[in-house]
């Protein structure tokens, strides 16, 4: 049976005849891409929604997508949220990528150090500690005296702590005893006692010779705390550690352990306001707590988040 | 610090619902092949803010309230690499919410900027010492910070 076009209002039990035709016109048709592709679209109401299931593409339709029948009844139009490349200004492509970048010019901060180099950072150190470029990585090497440290900081910049951000490091240390490590956003130098400064990141400290794991640390400017995780500092190869800051909600550490996705959620003393001062944003510090040289290898780092209002003025995209 | 380790079903489902109430922290390990999640929940009652202080009974009640329908195994041993002594809480000892509590294990001093001091003053925190910097820069302020360290 073919349904007459019925637009505008939802079905009303008092005035509408609940015929299959009317119900069909109002509801999703769910089927495989092959089935939906085989329908005679000219017999179906314009605007009719379709949901594709299965796992085989057919006639340009892909599984797990939503399509609507075009106003002229000639073809299916993908819903927004569809895979697109932002490589044209056509609606289905979502607009040009360069326009998206420009539209977010003043609100987005991206620290890209997937290829880190020592000269990109300000090095603070004690003893013979240093940060050096080797072919494989950026190596933090402590001196040979107890308390020798190396802390690298990205100069300048800022980050709005009232918006979501994330910091990631790919690296490792072959030492997990008698060391102090501090990595993250707004972190104090590795050689000083924790303050009340707003921050989030990873840290660990050992002076007793006990094998240590990373703790998630955060401060909201009033109090700070560090919570233990199952993430071992001692590794034999670089691995990725991603720290996600959800303002006033949580600081999460996401990583893989034995190929299993593992996430630690910390909900206390989470920063939710303010912007970090220049030079305070991204830093990594490593210290030896015995008279033995220690190493931390950094293969890559990344941070993304928001700039505070009026840090840069906006670009109107034409 | 209080801990409880449980195993839950529906790993892919729970992955979308890892947000926790304030004061409860969790370490989740998702095994999508077995469709299981191992989770170690922790909380503490040593914070100055009473809203985020939770004890062992609160933790048990919280896990059942939030994830009760997914629980497979309870009372599992806490993972070996979950070091209780890595739990640390730092509070300025003049935090009005501490209400004179002094059961901290260690203390140290920290100097804060004038800007930070003004914010802390608004919240009722008193400084220990006012430190002059120079005739043309603003004074800075010293606070004592108490350190509570983790213990079972």
Model confidence over B61-116: pLDDT tens digits?
999 999 999 999 998 999 988 888 899 999 999 999 998 888 899 999 999 999 99
Instruction: With a cut of 80, say whether residue A25 has pLDDT above it.
Output: no
Q: What percent of chain A has pLDDT over 70?
A: 93
Of the given ranges (A33-47, A159-173, A190-204), which has the lowest mean pLDDT?
Answer: A33-47
Mean pLDDT of A221-249: 97
- The answer to whether B114 faces chain A, any CB pair under 8 Å, is no
Phi, psi (rounded to 5 degrees) for A168: -135, 145
Q: Is the pLDDT of residue A83 over 60?
A: yes
| Alpha-carbon distance A203 to nearest alpha carbon in chain B (angstroms) | 10
Q: What is the pLDDT of residues B104-120, one digit of tens each?
A: 999 999 999 999 999 99
Q: Does B17 touch chain A (CB under 8 A)?
A: no
Interval B53-64 mean pLDDT: 96
> What residues contact B46, with CB distance under 8 A and at least 6 apart?
B1, B53, B89, B103, B148
Which residue has tokens 């009722």? B124
In chain A, the domains with their CATH numbers are 20-98 (no CATH), 108-306 (2.60.120.200)
Instruction: pLDDT band for A14, please (50, 70, 90 cuts).
Output: low
> Chain B window 54-83: which residues touch A at a Cβ cutoff of 8 Å?
79, 81-83
Mean pLDDT of chain B: 94
Q: What is the pLDDT of residue A80?
A: 67
Assess B143–A contact: CB distance below 8 Å, yes or no. yes
Count of beta carbons in the 10 Å neighbourhood of residue A85? 10
What is the average per-residue pLDDT within B117-137? 93
Interface predicted TM-score (ipTM): 0.95
pLDDT above 80 for A82: no
Q: Which of A196, A197, A226 lies closest to B92 in CB terms? A: A196
Q: Please state which CATH number belongs to domain B2-82.
A: 3.30.70
pLDDT at site A16: 65
Only one residue has tokens 């949901």, namely A51
pLDDT value at A12 more than 70: no
Measured CA to CA, the distance from residue A169 to residue A114 in angstroms comes to 9
Could you tell me the residue ranges of all domains in chain B?
2-82, 86-149
Smallest CA–CA distance, residue B80 to chain A, in Å, is: 8
pTM here? Answer: 0.86
B4 touches chain A (CB under 8 A): no
């Amino acid at each position: 049976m073919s349904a007459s076009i019925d637009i505008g209002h939802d079905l009303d039990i008092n005035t509408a005849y609940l015929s299959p035709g009317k119900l069909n016109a109002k509801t999703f048709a769910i089927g495989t891409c092959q089935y939906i592709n085989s329908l005679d679209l000219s017999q179906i109401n314009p605007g009719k929604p379709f949901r594709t299931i299965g796992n085989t593409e057919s006639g340009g339709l892909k599984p797990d997508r939503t399509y609507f029948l075009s106003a002229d009844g000639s073809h299916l139009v993908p819903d927004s949220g569809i895979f697109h490349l932002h490589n044209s200004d056509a609606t289905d492509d979502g607009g040009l990528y360069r326009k998206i970048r420009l539209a977010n010019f003043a609100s987005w901060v991206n620290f890209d150090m997937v290829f880190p180099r020592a000269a990109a950072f300000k090095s603070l150190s004690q003893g013979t500690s240093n940060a050096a470029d080797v072919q494989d990585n950026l190596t933090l090497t402590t001196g040979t005296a107890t308390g020798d440290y190396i802390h690298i900081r990205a100069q300048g910049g800022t980050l709005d702590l009232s918006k979501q951000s994330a910091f990631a490091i790919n690296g490792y240390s072959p030492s997990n005893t008698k060391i102090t490590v501090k990595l993250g956003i707004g972190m104090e130098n590795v050689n000083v006692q924790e303050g009340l400064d707003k921050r989030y990141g990873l840290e660990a400290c050992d002076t007793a010779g006990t094998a240590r794991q990373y703790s998630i640390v955060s401060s909201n400017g009033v109090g700070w705390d560090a919570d233990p995780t199952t993430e071992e500092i001692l590794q034999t190869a670089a691995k990725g550690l991603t720290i996600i800051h959800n303002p006033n909600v949580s600081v999460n550490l996401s990583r893989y352990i034995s190929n299993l996705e593992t996430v630690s959620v910390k909900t206390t003393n989470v920063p939710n306001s303010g912007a970090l001062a220049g030079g305070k944003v991204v830093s990594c510090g490593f210290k030896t707590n015995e008279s033995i040289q220690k190493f931390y290898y950094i293969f890559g780092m990344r941070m993304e988040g928001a700039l505070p209002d009026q840090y840069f003025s906006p670009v109107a995209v034409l | 610090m209080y801990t409880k380790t449980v195993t839950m079903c529906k790993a892919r489902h729970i992955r979308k619902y890892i947000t926790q109430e304030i004061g409860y922290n969790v370490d989740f390990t998702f095994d999508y092949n077995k469709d299981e999640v191992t989770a170690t929940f922790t909380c503490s009652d040593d914070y100055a803010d009473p809203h985020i202080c939770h004890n062992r009974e609160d933790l048990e009640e919280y896990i059942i309230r939030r994830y009760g329908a997914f629980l497979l195994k309870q009372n599992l041993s806490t993972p070996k690499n979950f070091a209780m002594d890595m739990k640390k809480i730092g509070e300025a000892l003049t935090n009005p919410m501490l209400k004179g509590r002094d059961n901290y294990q260690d203390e140290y001093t920290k100097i804060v900027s004038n800007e930070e001091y003004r914010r802390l003053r608004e919240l009722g925190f008193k400084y220990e010492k006012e430190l002059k910097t120079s005739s043309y820069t603003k004074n800075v302020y010293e606070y004592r910070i108490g350190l509570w360290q983790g213990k079972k």
